Structure 1
Amino acid sequence: MKREIKKYLFDIKVSIDSINDYLGSDRNFFEYQKNKLLRRGIEREIEIIGEAMSRILKIDPTMRIQNARQIVDTRNWVIHGYDKVDDVIIWGIISKNLPELEKEILQYLDL
């Protein structure tokens, strides 16, 4: 695997770790929803994840990461559709999709 791809995979891992740090162990949707700073921080990390995935796919379009295209699309939606970002959808991504993505990333990084 190219060094550049590993760097982007590591960036994704760092953003996932940051989201987990922001939320802590007491994950509460209603606390998330009413904390604008928390929401914006998590949205930024999702943007970073999507941008890193986009760069990976440009280098190696055959990279096998489940939902890679949807990850890039989510980044675009958060950035360009900022006024239509839905907290429920973001929470679903945090709760369901990020743990799955983290497992895949860890396998590639051998961590």
Structure 2
Amino acid sequence: MYRSNEELFKHIFDEIVFLESETRTISEEVFLKDEKTQRAFARSIEIIGEAVKNISSDVIIKYKEVPWRNIAGMRDKLIHGYFSVDYEIVWDVAKNIIPEFKNQLIKIMDTEKKKNGN
């Protein structure tokens, strides 16, 4: 099913908001002992990665400073490495990488919205 870049950005943003909200309410220590939260974080990162894989190539090329390939790659590692997920890395991504990606995404969404006259 085709989704517009705008829809994909919204899906990504929703998952980022979830991850940021959760990382504010729990510590890494609690996270590493809570399998449900670990799975929720992994799923959010998978959704983000899947959405990134579907963003149009012109946007990917236009915003080269965003680590699109790394984000999509994290999704692939989670999807295909289900027996060997390192949840310390998942925590690090949620806590340290996702906030920077959010800032980049907000700028992209604003720029694309202006470009499209919205």
- TM-score category (smaller protein): 0.7 to 0.9
Gaps of 5+ in 2: 114-118
> Across the two proteins, how many residue pairs are aligned to each other?
108
Deviation at 1:39, TM superposition (A): 0.5
Q: Once the two structures are superposed, what CA deviation does each residue of 1:59-92 show, in whole Å capped at 9, x if it has no partner?
A: 6441415110010010010011011110111111
Larger radius of gyration: 2
Q: Runs of 5+ in structure 1 lacking a partner?
A: none
Aligned residues of 2:78 and 2:85 also touching (Cα < 8 A)? yes
C-alpha distance in 1 between matches for 2:99 and 2:60: 23
- Identical residues among aligned pairs (%): 26
Deviation, 1:98, is 0.3
Aligned partners of 1:86, 1:94: CA distance in 2, in Å? 13
- Is the counterpart of residue 93 in structure 1 residue 93 in structure 2? yes
Q: Give the structure 2 partner of residue 17 of structure 1.
A: 17
Aligned ranges for residues 29-108 of structure 1 at < 5 Å?
29-58=28-57, 60-64=59-63, 66-108=66-108
Which TM-score applies when normalising by structure 1?
0.86
CA contact (8 A) 1:51 1:75 kept: yes
Deviates more, 1:48-57 or 1:3-12: 3-12
